[in-house]
Structure 1
Amino acid sequence: MEELIIRKIKDVNELENVVEIEKSAWAMPDYRETTPVHMLKALVENGGIILGAFDKNNMIGFNMGWSVGCNESRYFYSHMTGVLEEYKYKNVGYKLKIKQREEVLKLGINLIKWTFDPLQSLNLNFNLEKLGAIGRIYKENYYGNIRDSINEGLETDRFEAEWYISSKYVTDKIEGKIKTPPAEELIRKGGYIPLDRKIKGENKESYIETPIKKEFSLDKVILISIPANISSIKNIDKETAKKWRLYTREAYKFYLSKGYIAVGYTRNKENYGYVVLIKSELEDLLKGVNLWS
């Protein structure tokens, strides 16, 4: 891939590419779940922003959103960021989000929101760790049934991501100045795991991770166990996948209701992943103080 070009798009022909990328990115079996081109056109002509990522002349990714509210309550809602399957894991999505941040700051808006699945480890790492979004609100079965290969078969619980794009916290996260320590280090400092797992299966490829411990404690730092690949588990054992959804839902909702904020994603030496929540005031967090000192 040569130098990536990211720019606003409005032309109907380019908007049609958005639909094809949606199908590829979410493995949609048909067009029932894609966004109609006429709605995309209406969006970009009435205050919305759609960015296209181009490799040479080929559009390989996009994101879309629109501004909401006014005055102090104004924010930008980022509905979708998608990349063609063959271009995933090449930093395209990240560059789209950074460009979106630039465009939204030009509008005088300091907050971008979106939703993401709090069971998908790659999404958790991308949103919380790389971008510096935070999670304070949990939405249960938010979209109902979505008929694509990623979402079908599980209730569509979502975190509401809050990305305070002008804050020192987000700047420090993007610049790599704030990184969540490994799980073992957080545990040594008093971090608590209220939800953990057991493994069954005869080899690494067939492991099915089942959450077993559910003991809630109000320590300052909380680590909630997350499966490495919930989609793989769902394909092997739907009931275990449903347990993960229900158990993590209970843990997330408990801690968020107590004033905890999801701020990071980390792993232990065995490569098991954990979402990290801390008890903090939002204003203190956004100042970019060292959370782990």
Structure 2
Amino acid sequence: MPELEGVYTLFDDIWDFGSSDPPITMELMRALSHAGGYVAGAFDGGRLVGGSVGFLAAGNALHSHVTGSVAGRGIGFELKQHQRRWALERGLTRITWTYDPLVRRNAHFNLAKLGARPVEYLPYFYGVMEDAINQGDESDRLLASWPLTAPHVEALARREPGDAPAPEGAVVALADEGGRPALGPVDAPVVLVAVPPDIQALRRADKGAGKAWRHAVRDVLGGLMAEGRKVTGFAAKSYYVVESM
């Protein structure tokens, strides 16, 4: 229980739940771990520096409900690789999780560093959220699916480079012009959908711009995915790559 309390405290330090409901409690972590779910902590010596909690999901998958770590030290990557090994040892073939499509660093990490792919756009998925990071915004999420034995995922697990430039001939369907979203054509075979460099800072500085980005990405990226187009990567650390399949 003291280690689980440490994970809870770490998550609270990251998200600053305040009076809002936390995404996980110590009691639920205890129950999940006892029932065979995934509860893990990353330690630097005796100091807890990362944590992750997940549960088994339909389709022979693990759903990673919440993962957080001290930033900038590669701990998040190591936690996800531990998660991957844990799942493979139990015969699972994929891991899923949700993330905010506007958070550029998470999109780059999930798609370019891990090899996950968004498979569903989920508008307003968690309803109203009051933690310090999400307060005042609508809780749209992308559902990411991580195919654990795909060749590109195995290559990224070996730390082979995954960053890529924008595909030749791709058309920008949503651009960043002076901090605001600007619409472009969406009828090309390959289109690019931009997200702002730092949506959290933008929300604090200009709530109107933050809301404009939320609705633009929902309409463009969510609309393209609803039509059956596939997100195949994250290019130039700035754009979702969306292709007609």
Scaled by the length of structure 2, what TM-score is found?
0.94
1:13 and 1:104 map into 2 onto residues whose CA distance is: 25
Secondary structure at the aligned position of 2:124 is classed as coil
User: Which residue in 2 is equivalent to 1:284?
Assistant: none
1:264-279 aligned at under 5 Å gives the runs 264-267=233-236, 273-279=238-244
Residues 118-159 of structure 1 show CA distances to partners (whole Å, capped at 9, x for unaligned) of 000010011011000001200000001111121111101111
Q: Say if 1:36 and 1:176 are closer, same or farther in 2 by CA, change over 3 A.
A: closer
State the percentage of identical aligned residues.
29
Matched, 1:191 2:167: no
Instruction: Tell me how far 1:260 sits from its aligned partner.
Output: 2.2
Query: Aligned-pair distance for 1:278?
Result: 2.5
In the alignment, the residues of structure 1 paired with residue 104 and residue 239 of structure 2 have an alpha-carbon distance, to the nearest angstrom, of 9
| 2:20–2:131 contact (8 Å) kept in structure 1 | no
Give the structure with higher Rg (CA).
1
- 1:135–1:31 CA distance, 2 compared to 1 (3 A): closer
Distance of 1:143 and 1:31 partners within structure 2? 12
Q: What is the root-mean-square deviation in Å for CA atoms of aligned residues?
A: 1.7
Separation in 2, partners of 1:224, 1:233: 18
Q: In the TM superposition, what is the alpha-carbon distance from 1:31 to its structure 2 partner? A: 6.8
User: Which of residues 14, 32, 40 is equivalent to 2:3?
Assistant: 14
Structure 2 counterpart of 1:61: 50
Structure 1 residue 34, shift from structure 2 partner: 5.0
1:236 paired with 2:215, answer: no
Amino acid in structure 2 at the alignment position of 1:26: W
The answer as to 2:180 corresponding to 1:210 is: yes
SS in structure 1 at match of 2:139: coil
CA distance in 2, matches of 1:16, 1:178: 36
Shift of 1:177: 4.8
**CA drift at 1:176:** 5.0
| Aligned partners of 1:23 and 1:34 also within 8 Å | no
8 Å Cα contact 1:18/1:62 also seen in 2: yes
Distance 1:55 1:178, change over 3 A: closer
State the shift of 1:99 in Å: 0.5
What is the number of residues matched between the two proteins? 245
AA aligned to 1:213 is L
Flag structure 1 segments of 5+ consecutive residues without an equivalent: 1-11, 200-208, 281-293
Q: After the TM superposition, which of the residue ranges 21-30 and 37-46 deviates more from structure 2?
A: 21-30
Deviations 1:166-208 (A, max 9, x none): 111311233355634323xx2xx21011111221xxxxxxxxx
Look up the match of 2:128. Answer: 145
User: Alignment partner for residue 80 of structure 1, among 62, 66, 70?
Assistant: 66
Report Cα offsets for 1:5-27 as digits up to 9, x if no partner: xxxxxxx1111111101111223
**How far apart, in 1, do the equivalents of 2:200 and 2:20 lie?**
22
